[in-house]
Structure 1
Amino acid sequence: MATSTIASTINGFFSGGLPIKLSAYDGSVAGDVSSPYGLKILNQRGLSYILTAPGDLGLARAYVSGDLELEGTHPGDPYPLLRLIVGSTDFARPSVSEIARIVKDLGLSSFVPPKPPAHEHLPAWRTAVEGIRTAGLNALKRHTQERDAEAIHHHYDVSNTFYEYVLGPSMAYTCAVFPHPDATLEEAQAEKFDLICRKLGLKPGDRLLDVGCGWGGMVRHAAKHYGVKALGVTLSREQASWAAQAIKEDGLDDVAEVRFSDYRDVVEGEFDAISSIGMTEHIGVKNYESYFSFLHSKLKDDGRLLNHCITRNDNASKATAGAFIDRYVFPDGELTGSGTIVVAAENAGFEVQHHENFRRHYAKTLTGWNKNLVDNWEACIAETDLGTAKVWGLYMAGSRVGFETNEIQLHHVLATKTPKNGQPGAGQTTYPMRHDFGV
């Protein structure tokens, strides 16, 4: 029996084979050899990454470490290649005899796991083990304040300058809302903040709390255009520093503040409105009810909450975001369906008033971010490093595919703290009979 080549062996792991070209350092080629797009395994370490972490994680490790090359596409926007292989990267389970043959053909050394790239965050079990050594059994708990702070630091404290290149002047790292198909990314981000202000019914003199406020885009927009007094909180020291400077430059020091703080440490209350934009993804599904209960306690009667969150297309799938996202992008991130969010908000005492999906808007947002990364590729590498830039290109393009194929969605859930008797509180105006967000 002829010895299998590297390319043919790896291609055989993918159900039906890859719809793009697969080549390897032994000169072998497999898959669709006529495709303008391809994966090229450059060395044995790349092969070992793929063999020892089958599927997306192994491919990502090999790519980020420089041991796997994407052909026919820019690393800042590998969308064209990823769009072709979506749903094709899960390994088929080989039989015992097939495993024995593969080990014989490729060598036992190919199955020794290499050390993961430095860009990879420890998996949950390793994080717990390391934490137990210093913090005891409490380290087994996900979404403690300490562990959440570390996860946010991993993702958001890359470099403010890097984010300026990728996100653009708005520094808005959440789904934009495109008022028309030809709107620019900046116009769409401004529309997103304005729509949330309108949904919250903000008016001069109101007090707004923005949890997980990022670089303060919502805080500054609401203070500047709606005359509110706004407080934002973020677990990223880099974000808080950037936002403080932007607030100062905008002349909003007296009405806007971004605080480096866990939302659970906010002592103020009696807010007229709360915005939670891209925050729920980080808190853990099991903590939804306690999260919404906390926000409920911070609102005045008839106050409004707008929750903006990436969601799954169902409420039954496992909430984990996947190995690549968990290790390289959002450690401990969890996604579930919008129905789970609605249930948790209602169980916390909120009356849900409006529920809206912006899935296709997020695909367009990611397209804009990938373009920014490509346009500023060399500057982004200089600001961080090649591996980080690759992670971001892969993550954003892959997410775009997920939104386009309805694997993931983005929902707004608007709710009110309705008094128990269903009537407006003293000096308050109840939610209108029909909502009108001025669109």
Structure 2
Amino acid sequence: MSPNEKVALASLLSRSWRDPGNMLNIGIIGSIVTSLVGGVTLYKNDGGRMKWAAPLPLFGILGLYEIKHRLTPAAPLQSKYITFKSKGAKSRWSGRKIPAATLTTLYLDDEIDFTMDVLAALENIDDFVCWMPSWPTIRFLINQLYPNSGNSSLKDKKTTKREIADHYDRGNDFFNAFLGERMVYTSAVFESDSDTLESAQDNKMRKICEKLRLKPGDKMLDIGCGWGTLVGYANKHFQTKTTGVTLSKEGAKWSREHNPGCGQGSCDFLVTDYRDIPETEKFNAISSVEMAEHVGLANFQTYLNKVKTNLEDDGAFYIQVAGLRKGSDWKDIAWGLFMGEYIFPGADASTPLNWYINELEQAGLEVESIENVGIHYSLTLHEWYKNWMKNEPSLSSKYPGSLCRLWRLFLAWSTIASRRGTATCWMICCHKQLDSFDRSKMIKNQGAMCGKPGSNKWTEAAKFQQFK
């Protein structure tokens, strides 16, 4: 097993031992160690070879924690946002703030509902949610310490393929219901207050191609190509010979069906692990758009060195990554754990920016430019949320109600999280750190960092009216 990803990530998110990530590590791991050292032998078999050391210190700590946990702050405004559908949930939580993980469980199990639009309710989430970690959260984190218990630290090819299939092969109609016409599952870039989701995704793809300095005839590789939209865009607008790789069979199927010109030498889609791309294949440009988070912390150098091997010496590498902020508070941690447990269980390499930069430089890649597009992610997620709420009824007969409720919660909560800075997204462009690299090339794509001329005329206030 690789080093535990959740433990390492919690530490990366912390500035000091008092920050939530480190507090969770200290509390959980410390309790387990204390239990092993101070456990009491309760049972021996006849041969005297087996014994069970009861983790009494851990039980004691959890017991005291549960007592405190039951005394969450009062929530006088709770009824404005929450309605109880089960007597048990009402008896336990009526009038009190509900821990975030418990709220998620109750909502998915249809024991509570919101009295209004989910996003509107979550805009006031502090009125009815307690950010103190609850027992389900602690149990999830303890399970992450052990293999064969849903541990997402395992990043071998078989496990990675299963994780991707579990999420991305759910059904193309499911993803189309919120991603819309472009079928792009990554942050768009809004350059005007008149931009739609589709035009904003086109803006993003144009910027990526410009940052990669693509020219006709270039060989391009897109690692984690999703539904093939960037591959098709680069081929159509920049006349590249582009290969997209994915582990999703459904994604590859959609890509081939919606890019009819591909497969004839101009572009192609392969269902393969990035680690299996032949080392002899060389590309002028390589992109990896919000795929690297699935690589894992321990495998990140393997991933970057693979990119370096397949990249021409004068080529460009574009990596777009979603990350979490340094010094995350309890609200950030709650959202991150929700994402890690329910949405992207293997995406443990969502880190603060400094970790990504250090890894790139460690691999011998020189960073050219970095753009923070986190606020654009919030706008993108809001568009996805509106699409989902409009199209969910057409999916309700095919997909479980709990899954539909999960997606409402995911898209609404993530819209808010990226707006407040809990999560963000970076566009990073780099090249091999070689003396012979012609750095004058970097001047040519400065325009790609600024968007269209005059794009600064739109105001955030105008775009954010949609949140009110």
* TM-score interval for Structure 1 and Structure 2 normalised by the shorter chain: 0.7 to 0.9
Aligned residue number for residue 266 of structure 1: 277
Render the CA deviation track for 1:279-321: whole Å, top value 9, x for unaligned.
1221112322222121111100121111111111227889997
SS in 1 for 2:421: coil
Instruction: Return closer, same or farther for 1:296/1:39 CA change in 2, 3 Å cut-off.
Output: farther
| Aligned residue number for residue 395 of structure 2 | 380
Question: Which residue, 123, 127, 130 being the options, matches 1:90?
Answer: 130
Q: Quick check: 368-377 or 311-320, which moved more?
A: 311-320
3-state secondary structure, aligned to 1:129: coil
**1:19, CA displacement in angstroms?**
6.8
Q: Does 2:413 correspond to 1:360?
A: no
Q: Secondary structure at the match of 2:162?
A: helix
Report the Cα distance in structure 2 between the residues aligned to 1:266 and 1:282, rounded to whole angstroms: 17
Compute the displacement of 1:67 (Å).
1.3
Q: Which residue of structure 1 aligns with residue 119 of structure 2?
A: 79
| Alignment correspondent of 2:110 | 66
Question: CA contact under 8 A between 1:271 and 1:299: conserved in structure 2?
Answer: yes
| Secondary structure at 1:209 match in 2 | strand
Two-structure CA RMSD over aligned residues (Å):
3.2
1:216 matches 2:236: no
Match status 1:330 vs 2:387: no
Q: Percent identity?
A: 27
Shift of 1:406: 0.8
Compared CA separation, residues 123 and 93, structure 1 to 2 (3 A):
closer
Would the aligned equivalents of 2:235 and 2:241 in 1 still touch at CA under 8 Å? yes
Q: Contact between 2:78 and 2:128, CA under 8 Å: does it hold in 1?
A: no
Q: The residue matched to 2:269 in structure 1 has which SS?
A: strand
Q: Residues 168 and 123 of structure 1: is their aligned pair in 2 closer, same or farther, counting only changes over 3 Å?
A: farther
Question: What SS is found at the alignment partner of 1:437?
Answer: helix
Shift of 1:181: 1.7
Counterpart CA distance in 2 for 1:365 and 1:19 is: 33
Equivalent pair of 1:315/1:336 in contact (CA under 8 Å): no
Q: How far 1:210 moved relative to its partner?
A: 0.5
Question: Cα deviations across residues 54-73 of structure 1 (Å, max 9, x unaligned)?
Answer: 73222112111211211122
Deviations 1:128-169 (A, max 9, x none): 3268xxxxxxx8952111111111122111110111111111
Query: Given that residues 304 and 360 in structure 2 are in contact (C-alpha distance below 8 angstroms), is that contact kept between their aligned partners in structure 1?
Result: yes
Aligned positions of 1:181-260 closer than 5 A: 181-248=193-260, 250=261, 253-260=264-271
Measured in 1, the distance between the counterparts of 2:82 and 2:243 equals: 48
Q: C-alpha separation between the residues in 1 aligned to 2:396 and 2:237? A: 36
Distance (Å, rounded) in 1 between the aligned partners of 2:164 and 2:368: 31
Q: Kindly provide the CA deviation profile for residues 364-397 of structure 1, in whole angstroms up to 9, marking residues without a partner as x.
A: 1011111111111211223322211111111111
Check conservation: 2:378, 2:415, Cα contact below 8 A: yes
1:18·1:85 contact (CA, 8 Å) conserved in 2? no
TM-score with structure 1 length normalisation? 0.77
Matched, 1:297 2:309: yes
User: Using the alignment, how far apart are the partners of 1:196 and 1:263 within structure 2?
Assistant: 20
**1:47 Cα deviation after fit:** 7.0
The 3 A distance-change label for structure 1 pair 80 and 216 is: same
Give yes or no for contact 2:153–2:346 (8 Å, CA) kept in 1: no
Change in Cα spacing, 1:92 to 1:212, as seen in structure 2 (3 Å) is closer
* Residue of structure 2 in register with 1:25 after alignment: none
- Report the alpha carbon displacement of residue 11 of structure 1 after superposing the two structures with TM: 11
Give the aligned partner of residue 102 of structure 1. Answer: none
Contact preservation (8 Å) 2:84, 2:112: yes
State TM-score, norm by structure 2.
Answer: 0.72
Query: In 1, are the aligned partners of 2:282 and 2:310 still within 8 Å (CA)?
Result: yes
Q: What is the alpha-carbon distance in structure 1 between the residues aligned to residue 433 and residue 334 of structure 2?
A: 33
Residue 12 of structure 1: CA displacement?
Answer: 7.0
1:285 and 2:330 aligned:
no
Distance 1:151 1:172 in 2: 19
**2:78 counterpart residue number:** 21
Instruction: Report how many residues are paired.
Output: 373
Using the alignment, how far apart are the partners of 1:13 and 1:307 within structure 2?
A: 45
Counterpart for residue 57 of structure 1: 101
In the alignment, structure 2 segments of 5+ residues that lack a partner are 1-66, 452-468
* Shift in Å, 1:437: 3.1
**Aligned letter for 1:296?**
K
**Equivalent residues in 2 for 1:390-409, closer than 5 Å:** 390-409=405-424
Change (3 A) 1:389 1:229: same
Contact 1:302-1:418 at 8 Å conserved across structures: no
Q: Corresponding residue for 2:363?
A: 348
Amino acid at match of 1:333: A
